[in-house]
Amino acid sequence: MSLLEIDKINSYYGDSHVLFDLSMHVGEHEVVALLGRNGAGKSTTLKSLMGAVKPQDGTVKFDGEDIRGLPPYEIAQLGIQLVPEERRIFGSLNVEENLQLASLSAPNAWTIDRIYEYFPRLKERRRSRGTDLSGGEQQMLAIARALIRDARLILLDEPFEGLAPIIVQDLLGVARQLAEEGRTIIIVEQNVAAALSIAQRVYIINNGHVVYEGTPADLQERPEIMHEYLGV
C-alpha cells in the first residue's frame, strides 16, 4: 500500500473548479516531482493534501487513513508537513525561536543540533531574526521547521524559486540526503532539471488534470511531452 493515495479529488477556489478528478499515489521513501506550468494546479494539490483547501469529493488517504476534510493542524500531527512557497517564517523571531516554536507540538521532535547537521549555515545565523536572513537562508529555515517535526511526508512548494544557483545546489544536496535516508517527498518546482535530478517518479498536471505519470528517464525521452506541458 502506498503511503499517500489520492483518488479523484475535485478542489475549488470559490466557484472556480481547479482540480478535476485528480488521482496520484506516493510510496513510502519515494520522491515524486509534481510538474506543470504556472496555474496548472500544482500548489492547489499540495494545499488539498494539507487541508488548506478542502476537496469537495474523492479521497485522500495517508497511511491508510482518509484525511480529506481534516483541519491542517490534525494533518500535520499525522506527519505531513508543507513547506509553502511563501516560506512563512516568523520574521520577528530568530532562527532558533522559529525552530523551537515548530517543535513544541511535534510528538517526536528532532533536536536543534540535529537540524544544524543538515543546515550548518543556520547554526551560524541562529541568533538572527527571520527578516535579517537572505532568501536562501529563509528557505533553509522553512525546510528545517518541517524536519524538526519529524515529518513522514514533506511537501516542498517551489523550494528553489528566486534563489542563486549555488544555494539551489546546497538545497538539492539536503533533499538528496533526505531521500537517501528514506524521507518521503513531493516536490513542486519550476526548475525541471533540479526536480528531475532527485525524483524517482514524475506527475505532470495541466489545467487541473494529471496528463503524465512516469519516471524522469521516461520523461526525458519524450521531449514532445516536456515541450507541450513544461515549455522546455
Tell me, what's the pLDDT at 232?
Answer: 65
Tell me, what's the pLDDT at 44?
Answer: 96
What distance, in Å, lies between the first and last C-alpha atoms of the chain? 34
In the chain, the domains with their CATH numbers are 29-53+70-230 (3.40.50.300)
Tell me, what's the pLDDT at 1?
Answer: 65
CB 133 within 8 A of CB 90: no
Q: Which residue type does 201 have?
A: R
Collapsed DSSP state (helix, strand, coil) of residue 9: strand
Tell me, what's the pLDDT at 31?
Answer: 94
**Measured between alpha carbons, how far is 186 from 201 in angstroms, rounded to an integer?**
10
- Which parts of the chain have pLDDT scores under 70? 1, 232
pLDDT in tens, 133-184: 999 999 999 999 999 999 999 999 999 988 889 999 999 999 889 988 988 9
